[in-house]
Structures are given as structure tokens and as C-alpha cells.
Amino acid sequence: MLLMVAVIGLGVTQMAHLNTELANVVSVNNVKTRLASQMRDSLRDRAVLMHNIVVSIDPWEKDALFLQFQEYGERYAKDRSQLVTMLSTQGEKQLMDEIDTIIVINQPVMFSVVEAALDENNYGALTLLQEEAIPLQNRLVAALDNMTSLQREANEAALRKTFAAYQATRNLMLVLGIFATLLAALVAVLVGRRMLTQTRQLGTEKLKYQTLFETNSDAVVILDDKGFTDCNPATLSLFGMDSVADFRDCTIPQLGSPIQADGMTAYD
């Protein structure tokens, strides 16, 4: 029983550990996925704003769009700062270095496009946008998509690892359960054999004393506070009785002499 309780306790503890580990991994990876997605969305929104600045002919609208353009840049920088602190694998860090390298190249191009558009050089801004800014932007989005894929793969790897650990724990519990069952069966067999041996010994002793009781040439009686409960054949012969039942119906005074040697009656 104690072994079974230990097996169950081990299994529950191991499962709790696996669940905690999986929850931590998935939670961290989900945050990193969210940050990478937000960075990608910020870049796409900036690209749309940059295009709108280029095609707009209203100076006031261009100024408003430029402010939004800068705001999305700040959002990207904030999410990037948080994501960098959470990167743990070499693949993630290498991918972030690649993204930063593209950003270093892309930033001057984007601002050149915006400045040309604000200076009313829409043709030059559009040319720069199509030839340089958009290809760089696509590279950035692809790199951030790869970052998201890394987190998804990490989640899948964590699930596979947890499932493998679960399988190992289940197999261990199965083996220990079988061992505990076999051990319990062995103990039951040993206890059963011991009880059988003791029962046989008691039977032998009982038969031995019963034989001594019945074959004894001396009268032997058994009594309690209520009277006689048993007697041997020698007792029946002594008192001239036919059965033990007749003897049990007698009282002690009935079996003695009516007048004792001291002159008192048997009932006194």
C-alpha cells in the first residue's frame, strides 16, 4: 500500500513539474511571438504611411502622416527592446542581428523617401520607394516572420519534449505499479502460507490435546462459572453416565456424597 501511494505521489509530482515547465515555455514563447508580430505590424504600417506621404499632395496631410510614421517607429523600438531581453537561443539572437542590420540600412532610405516627399519631390521619393525601400521592407517583414516561426517551432519542441517526458513518466509509473502489484501478491502469498501453517499447527495441537483428553484414564472435566462444559470418557464411566450432555446437566453437588465427611451436606 505504501509503495502504491509512493508511486502515485511520484507520478503526480512529475506531472505537475511537466505542466509547470510547459506553461513557462509556452508563456515566454507566446510573449516573444506577440512582440515579433507587433514589430512586423509596425513596419508594415510605416511602409503604408510612407507610401501615403509620397502620393499625398496636401502638405498638412503629409505632416500628419509623418507624425504617425514616427509614432510607429517608436512602437517598433519599444517592442524590440523588450524582445531582445527575452531572446535565449543562438538562432533567435542571430536572427535579431540580421533584423538590426537590415534596419540600419533601411532607416536612412525610409527617411530619404519621406524627406523627398515632404520637399514635394514625389517622383524621386516614389522611385526610391520602389527601388530600395520596399525591397528592404520586405526583407524585414520576412525576417520577423522567421522570428515568429522560431517561437512556434519552440512551442512545438516544448510540446514534444513534454509529451516524451509524460510517456517516460507513464511508463515508469506502469513499471512501478506492476512491481508494487507483484510485491503485494508475493506478500499476500507469504502471509497466506504462514497463516495456513499456523492453522495446521493449531489443528495438530488441538488434535493432540483432544486425544490426550479423551484417552486419559483419569476423569477430566472442564467447567466455568455456570457449571460443567465438557468431560472425557473416563468421567462418564466414573459417574455411570451415557453422554457428555447428561454430565453437563448435572451440578457439582449432585455428583458428590449427600453427607460429607465433616457431616455437612453437599449443598452446604
Which residue ranges form the domains of the chain, and what is each CATH number?
A: 2-183 (1.20.120.1730), 221-255 (no CATH)
Statement: the pTM of the whole predicted model exceeds 0.85:
no
Task: Return the DSSP state at 86.
Answer: T
Specify the higher pLDDT residue, 232 or 175.
Answer: 232
Q: What is the pLDDT of residue 91?
A: 87
Residues 196-217 pLDDT 10s: 999 899 988 888 888 888 888 8
Separation of alpha carbons 142 and 255, rounded Å: 118
Separation of alpha carbons 13 and 127, rounded Å: 64
Where residue 78 falls among pLDDT bands split at 50, 70, 90?
Answer: very high
Find out whether 50 and 24 touch, Cβ atoms under 8 Å: no
The answer to whether residue 190 scores a pLDDT higher than 60 is: yes
Separation of alpha carbons 123 and 201, rounded Å: 114
- Using alpha carbons, list the distances in angstroms from residue 151 to 23, 44, 93: 14, 20, 12
- Using alpha carbons, list the distances in angstroms from residue 210 to 4, 55, 206, 220, 221: 46, 121, 6, 12, 13
- Three cell numbers at 122? 514625389
Residues 85-123 pLDDT 10s: 888 888 888 988 999 999 899 889 888 988 888 888 888
